[in-house]
A and B are shown apart, each in its own frame.
Chain A
Amino acid sequence: MNTKREIVSLQNVIKNYGHGEIITKALRGINLKILAGDFSAMMGPSGCGKSTLLNIIGGLDRASSGEVIFNGKDFNILSNKDLSIIRRNNIGFVFQNYNLLPVLTAYENAEYVLMLQEIPISQRKEKVMYFFKEMGLEGLENRFPRELSGGQQQRVAIARAVVSEPLLVLADEITANVDSETAQSLLELMKKLNKNNKITFLFSTHDPAVIKFAKKIIILKDGKIANEQMSSENIEKYTQK
């Protein structure tokens, strides 16, 4: 019997874009559960709905129909402000292009979410420095993003996502813009955070390297989940563009 806490539950989630006769069906009835401690990867060809699903799970976008329950709260009935608060306190985001704020230093970028949460400065410093140490970012605190390599920027972006120790971190194609060696080290880092800090991760990726680390693999095809918890042998079949 699975006793893990349910963080995300999707029931028959549909997402359509467009109006009238021109409708693009991005998601066609998704049923999915993300449990605490998961380290899951979503795969599938371009346009299969990975990013759309990630946006809906993260409360950045709303489903056209179906039920999205996050930590017991129904996203469909929450206001935009409430969704903002849930994102701030419970969800971390790591984006493909790092998306650090260029006017903030590495430290300030990581600290930003804690500041939004109104955590006292001393605690903020403690938390940020802890994760900077874990991620090998010590000494880079005062550098601006333009002064960091792609891999370093992505580490800072991960630090920003995990520093508040959210229930769930959503990572969208995070290895797409870094070399394989850096990708490997980033994944090892996140695996460590998953293990040591009990942070739940959900990746969207094309990168087979991510699959090696994932505990659960979700294959999306044409807006539907084609398979879950599949073996790594079939990955190539589903990730062909």
Chain B
Amino acid sequence: MKIIKVSWRNLWRNPIRTNVTISAVAICIAILIIFQSMIVGLIEKAKFNTTNLIIGEVQIHVEDYFDDRSIYKSLQNIEEIHSVAKENNIGLVERSYGFGLISSGTKSAGTQFWGINPESELQHFDFANHIDKGNFLTNTSLKKIVLGKKLASSIAADIGTELVVFVQGADGSLGNELFYVSGILKNMADNIDRGAAMILREDFDILFSTNNLIHEIALNSKGRLESEEIQKLVSAKTTGVDVETWQQLMPTIAMMTEKMIVFMRTLFSLIFGIAASLGVMNTMIMSTYDRMREFGIIRAIGTTPWRILKQVSLEAILMTIFSSIIGVVVGLSVALYFQKYGFDVSGSGNMSFGGVVMDPIWRANVSVGIVFLPVVLMILVSTVASIYPASIAARIKPVEAIHYKP
């Protein structure tokens, strides 16, 4: 006769009570699996979108570029970076930056000009698809310009508006050109919304009197490689440059996404863990008092308190394991459904803020850990919750318990 068999039979002495508790714990586990997979799905996708939008997983600049964004601080000898990207099948784009003034009619604004290659950007990044109005640049869009949303608004520019651009060229000359607005970007990140003006690199060279100066290389494996891994690969082949991951470039967002996952998972695990443990404890206390006389009998015939403690705790554990099976089947089924079909949130308006881009379809992200954690958590809290009723049962005096009347 095994203690497990006895514990299992004891569980079903009051089937209604046991079924209610099993259902409650199973629901807690199912909700935890669904909720955690949805949260992780949301945040992981947001992280992917963020790197995939414009920043990339790793960026390379000359040392201390961000202290002084001079047009002369351009990257040299970039062949090694190209070869690392090619060998590891990592997407690579080159960008040039310069500052100047842009005006439309009587309105003008300070602007950061982006010299880009639209074809590469489209191939490796997603921001070209985030057009609010008009069209993004193509490789033949000479004298065409794409503006950040707030910048366009501040100078009252719209599609087709003629803009006058003034910049100081790299050779000290004054560069000025006429550009026509081709497209206006959706809100993405504040620095882009307020200050970005994107033009072809050919136009950039003419405007700034440069010859293929590159200020930034952005690398994007689209989640295939970890950012730290790419950083390591590139750093091994380069000197005199800053190779930074997106987490280093956007520390606030990186921290926020990481902390949010931990915070949300901890918070919900606590809420559901406490709810489940109280349910289990309540059931086990009722069960203990119902069986007080029996505990007295088995104590009388020589059962040790430790064995009683084990038996009562085992009943709680068995109940939780049974609940876990049901909870995992239900929770996993729903989570897998949401992983495949997602949840349409496109009606919620603007899908990007602070450089973090949300997907219009919110999908779950199911992993072994997401299923495993609630099960382990529930078994742990149930075991802990059973200790109090188990200790009541173990500590009873047999002579009193034998005559106990509920």
Contacts and interface: CB of A to CB of B under 8 A. Distances in A.
Interface stretch (A35-43, A86-94, A135-143, A194-202): A86-94
Interface string A159-173: 010000000000000
A60 B13 contact: no
Contacts of A95: 297, 402
Contact of A101 (B294, B304, B305): B294
A19 B304 CA distance: 29
Given A102-B13, A111-B1, A112-B1, A55 B302 contact: no
Main secondary structure of the interface of B (DSSP, over half): helix
Main secondary structure of the interface of A (DSSP, over half): helix
A104 interface: yes
A89 B302 contact: yes
Contact of B302 (A84, A101, A102, A108): A84
Contacts of B9: 103-104
A85 B10 contact: no
A160 B399 contact: no
Nearest to B1: A108
A113 B297 CA distance: 11
B6 interface: yes
A60 B399 contact: yes
Contacts of A99: 293-294, 297, 402
B143 to A, nearest CB: 88
B297 A101 contact: yes
Given A99-B293, A99-B297, A112-B1, A61 B399 contact: yes
Interface in B264-311: 293-294, 297-305, 307
B327 interface: no
B302 A87 contact: yes
B128 to A, nearest CB: 70
Given A61-B399, A104-B1, A93 B300 contact: yes
A103 B302 contact: no
A111 B6 CA distance: 13
B195 interface: no
A22 interface: no
B41 interface: no
A55 B297 CA distance: 12
Interface in A109-142: 111-113, 115-117
B13 A103 contact: yes
B404 to A, nearest CB: 12
A44 interface: no
A58 interface: yes
Contacts of B297: 93, 95, 99, 101
A58 B304 contact: no
A116 to B, nearest CB: 5
A237 interface: no
B301 A116 contact: yes
B56 interface: no
Given A61-B399, A112-B1, A84 B6 contact: no
Given A99-B293, A99-B402, A58 B300 contact: yes
A81 B302 CA distance: 9
B355 interface: no
A93 B301 contact: yes
A61 B398 CA distance: 8
A87 B300 contact: yes
Most chain A Cβ neighbours within 10 Å, of B1, B301, B307: B301
A116 B300 contact: no
A214 to B, nearest CB: 23
A87 B302 CA distance: 5
Contacts of B1: 104, 108, 111-112, 115
B294 A60 contact: no
Interface in B84-108: none
A173 B11 CA distance: 32
Contact of A112 (B13, B293, B301, B399): B301
Interface of B: 1, 6, 9-10, 13, 293-294, 297-305, 307, 397-399, 402
Interface of A: 55, 58, 60-61, 80-81, 84-85, 87-89, 92-93, 95, 99, 101-104, 108, 111-113, 115-117, 160
18 contacts: A60-B300, A60-B402, A81-B305, A84-B305, A87-B300, A87-B302, A89-B302, A95-B402, A99-B293, A101-B294, A101-B297, A103-B6, A103-B13, A104-B1, A104-B9, A115-B1, A116-B303, A116-B307
Given A80-B305, A92-B301, 10 more contacts: A81-B304, A84-B299, A84-B304, A87-B301, A93-B301, A99-B402, A101-B298, A102-B294, A103-B9, A116-B303
Task: Kindly list the 6 A-B residue pairs having the minimum CB-CB distance in the complex, ordered from nearest.
Answer: A88-B302, A103-B9, A60-B399, A61-B399, A87-B302, A99-B297
